[in-house]
Structure 1
Amino acid sequence: MPVTPPPSSSSPRTPHSDHGAALVLTLFATTLAMIVGTTILSVTVANLRSARLSQDAAAALDAADAGLAQASSHLRTHGVAGIACSPGCPSGYGSQASPTVVDLPGGSQYRVWVEAVAPLPTHNPGRYVVHSTGRARDGVREIEAEVSIGTRPLGLPLALFARSFDGGGNGAVFQESILTTGCVWSRGHITVSGTDVAYDIPAAVHSSQYVSTSNGGNSNCGPSSGAIHRNGACHTSYPHDQSVQGGAYPAGQCKTLTDPYPTYYGDRDLNGDGSTDVQGSRIKDEASLRKLFSIPEQAFTDAQLDQLRAVAKSQDNYWKSNTHTTPTPEKHPHAVLFFDLPAGNNTGQRVDLNMSGWSRPFDAAVGSPECKDQSLLIVVVGGDVKLNAGTRLVANVVLTSPAPYGRMNKLNGNAELIGTVYADSMDLTGTGDVKLDECFVHNLSPSLVDTTLTITDYREVDRTDRL
């Protein structure tokens, strides 16, 4: 009879219990994988979003920088006259409310305007702040850059400058001073009147040699040849004139008239050597005159002349003879007319400045339609210039060559020049007038100011990433 084994004390594992454990493990692993995947996805999305925002922000900053570069280029090309109404100009570079807006490739954009903080000509150099906002999708960047703009460090004086002047006729100089390192002849025939708008002093004659009432036929320009200061520092007919023969004003008319202008008539030691270089009606020497009025030894350096040649050539305004075609302000509102005249005996090397299209009323109000946003710079190398009867011209005229060239000849027949002259000699024996006004100073040729356009302060004002 078979024997039956005793029952086991442990229960056998059933298939259902194995399946339950596996299910729990599977769910746990799946949940963990989902959590890890979601985390990775969230980090990836965040990184992508951050990368895109960073890319947009960088593109926006590039756009803002492009606006700054464009504004600087505009100032170099067109000068500051067009933003004299800043920040309230109706639109454009001088308008805060309606600035210049430019769309760039790739969908970015900049908005830029220029704030006149301490503008020319009241301040020299003038201070301007460029405000530029760049946008690129969700990126926005705003930058500010302070720009300093002035005449060249050894810039052309805003005056009539020559190494000698010969007066006569019925011509006159209005609101502008005569500066010279040599003699001034026939002072009694040179009418100088008004307030010098460039230096904010009474318009007058300032010489580091002698100012004489004798005519130019007298070869001796010295202390005894009609010199206005030979009998004392104060000549009541010319109380603001200065010469090497002048001196400290005694109490009275001249002193009373010049006391409000200590920069030009007070006791000045300009070079720091302990001696007085300027005192009342006296200017010690040529170096003192040049220092006092910032007059360069030469009009332009060779590099600056090359730059002006390049500008003139780009405008088709470069000539190697005295015959030329007058530039039109409609095509080039800020023109450079350059004459490279060959050396010779001066015959045929005289440029006639009888040009149309470059005139306006004298003393036109700044910002008015009569005060045109245009300028003309005329540079003559190796020759002379003349203004014939009826000529009306607004220009800077620069003759760079020494004698026997560099002479500005008679202003005949009621000719009128609104502007400045830099020459070797100037003949004022005609019947024309030379004038200077605020409109001219506000419309200086960009070619005379662009070399000192420098960014003095750059700052990123707003780093905003928009969702």
Structure 2
Amino acid sequence: MTRTARPVDRREPRDRGAALILTLFATTLVMIVGTTILTVTVNNLRTTRLSQDSGAALDAADAGLAQASAHLRTYGVGSIACSPGCPSGYGSEDNPTSVALPGGASYEVWVEARAPLPAHNPGRYVIHSTGTAGDGRRTIEAEVAIGTRPLGLPLALFAKSFQGGGNGAVFQESIITTGCVWSRRHINISGTDVAYKIPAAVHSAQHISTSNAANRNCGPSNGSIHPPACSTDTDYRFDQDAAGGPLGSTGCSGAVTSYPEFYAARDLDGDGTVDVNGSWIRDEKALRTLFSIPEKPFTDTQLDTLRAVAKTTGTYFTTASYTSGQIPNWSAAAPHLVVFFDLEGQPTNQRLVDLKDLDGWTRPAGGGCPVQSLVIVIVGGDARLNGNHDMVANLVLTSGAPYGYVFKANGNADMIGTIYADQIDLTGTVDISLDECFVQNLSPSLVDTTLTLTNYREIDR
């Protein structure tokens, strides 16, 4: 008898379905968590990259700020006088300066003249800089203040004494001296002083005289224009010296009401005594304080810097002799020049620099106001303005007597600019003037180029 095998009962465990569901759930959870982690990671990477791009863009914008500041230090504000409507470059809002940086970043930068020089001193300018890097784009604005006062130099004709004579004329510029002025009637001064915004005049810490300098006697008993406080000669109405006086109740009272900073009664040093009042100036200290004139035109460091600048252009001389070919002419590509004569130690008869051979630094034909500055520094020597010569320059003679003398200017010399010397002789037919274009184009080598950052902001934050 054959026995049939009984079928085996192979029922699935009751928890098999639950395990499958748990497995699927776990797998799904792992996938979700993985996807989430991946998404978070990608987002974090993207955020990191965007953050890096943003940081790089901000760095690029800061680089634009630094570059614009360097441009202002190098070329001054004359190059952006047309801001914001300049055709292109640093003064153009529509077509700003654009620079590509290593690594793919770049910036665009332009400078807005909010309260420009010379109408405002210091002038206020806003540097707009936009940096880009990858997907990052950052824009910053920085407001800077730039003063016009050269390093230790007044924007005037300054010396320890002046001698007039002939037909010398000074236009839109003042004469400032710590000593005496002789032959005042032969110094024709007119116009409004461009630098100080007052009527062009003579300002002396001692006396202004109509007498000549033959006996070197300068005082109230020798042709002094004061007293009275308000001179009877209208050409001297705004002159100031140690023999002047209050103008409030005189025919010159308009000077006090119109220009109180220079003609009203003022205590300049806070010691309780008046130092300036109308046509009267107490002494040399008061004069220097009133016009912000230090004891020396340059510090030793500043002189060394000017020497170094002149050496880079081959215009550093240790003798008074030179040829016009040794000094490059003005050009738009090289608009600024320093010429330095270092004459200490030279024989006495070899210390006179005749500037008539310094050609090529007049105003270019065609008018306008080009970016242009020439600085002539003479250490241990004298200078002569002679011979039908036109020049636009700052002339600085740093040495005291017996040197630092600017000799009589014959031959219709015509100069736009300033002079700093120990003595200046205006005898002859020289014409010296100052204008807005000159003030706008002060040499970068003279101007205190430390920009004062008054406001920095990220305008996209």
TM-aligned CA distance change 1:214 to 1:369, over 3 Å: closer
Q: 1:125 corresponds to which residue?
A: 122
Gaps of 5+ in 1: 1-6
Give the C-alpha shift of residue 15 in structure 1.
Answer: 4.7
Inter-partner Cα distance in structure 2 for 1:153 and 1:271: 23
**What's the TM-score, normalizing by structure 1?**
0.92
2:378·2:396 contact (CA, 8 Å) conserved in 1? yes
TM-aligned CA distance change 1:215 to 1:308, over 3 Å: same
Inter-partner Cα distance in structure 2 for 1:317 and 1:457: 39
Inter-partner Cα distance in structure 2 for 1:46 and 1:27: 28
Q: Which amino acid aligns with 1:323?
A: S
Q: 2:232 corresponds to which residue?
A: 236
- The alignment status of 1:74 with 2:71, answered yes or no, reads yes
2:352·2:384 contact (CA, 8 Å) conserved in 1? yes
Q: Which amino acid aligns with 1:360?
A: R
Give the C-alpha shift of residue 16 in structure 1.
Answer: 7.7
Q: 1:30 corresponds to which residue?
A: 27
From 161, 171, 175, the equivalent of 2:172 is 175
From 346, 370, 377, the equivalent of 2:375 is 377
Give the C-alpha shift of residue 252 in structure 1.
Answer: 3.8
Q: 1:4 corresponds to which residue?
A: none
Give the C-alpha shift of residue 62 in structure 1.
Answer: 0.8
* SS of residue matched to 1:63: helix
TM-aligned CA distance change 1:79 to 1:244, over 3 Å: same
Inter-partner Cα distance in structure 2 for 1:339 and 1:52: 57
Gaps of 5+ in 2: 1-5
Which whole-Å deviations, capped at 9, do the CAs of 1:287-346 have from their partners, x for residues lacking one? 110111111110011111122222222222222222332232225211111221123453
1:352·1:386 contact (CA, 8 Å) conserved in 2? yes
Q: 2:330 corresponds to which residue?
A: 329
Q: Which amino acid aligns with 1:427?
A: D
* SS of residue matched to 1:254: coil
Inter-partner Cα distance in structure 1 for 2:367 and 2:155: 23
2:117·2:440 contact (CA, 8 Å) conserved in 1? yes
1:77·1:334 contact (CA, 8 Å) conserved in 2? no
Q: 1:116 corresponds to which residue?
A: 113
Q: 2:362 corresponds to which residue?
A: 359
Inter-partner Cα distance in structure 1 for 2:139 and 2:435: 38
1:152·1:452 contact (CA, 8 Å) conserved in 2? no
1:350·1:385 contact (CA, 8 Å) conserved in 2? yes
Q: 2:96 corresponds to which residue?
A: 99
Inter-partner Cα distance in structure 2 for 1:279 and 1:434: 28
Q: 1:193 corresponds to which residue?
A: 190
* SS of residue matched to 1:456: strand
Identify which range, 178-187 or 86-95, moves more after superposition: 86-95
For these two proteins, the number of residue pairs brought into alignment is: 454
Give the C-alpha shift of residue 46 in structure 1.
Answer: 0.5
1:99·1:111 contact (CA, 8 Å) conserved in 2? yes
TM-aligned CA distance change 1:69 to 1:256, over 3 Å: closer
Mapping of residues 33-52 of structure 1, within 5 Å: 33-52=30-49
TM-aligned CA distance change 1:252 to 1:223, over 3 Å: closer
2:247·2:256 contact (CA, 8 Å) conserved in 1? no
- The alignment status of 1:259 with 2:257, answered yes or no, reads yes
Inter-partner Cα distance in structure 1 for 2:318 and 2:87: 43
Give the C-alpha shift of residue 430 in structure 1.
Answer: 1.6
Give the C-alpha shift of residue 104 in structure 1.
Answer: 1.3
2:150·2:448 contact (CA, 8 Å) conserved in 1? no
- The alignment status of 1:143 with 2:140, answered yes or no, reads yes
Identity rate, percent: 66
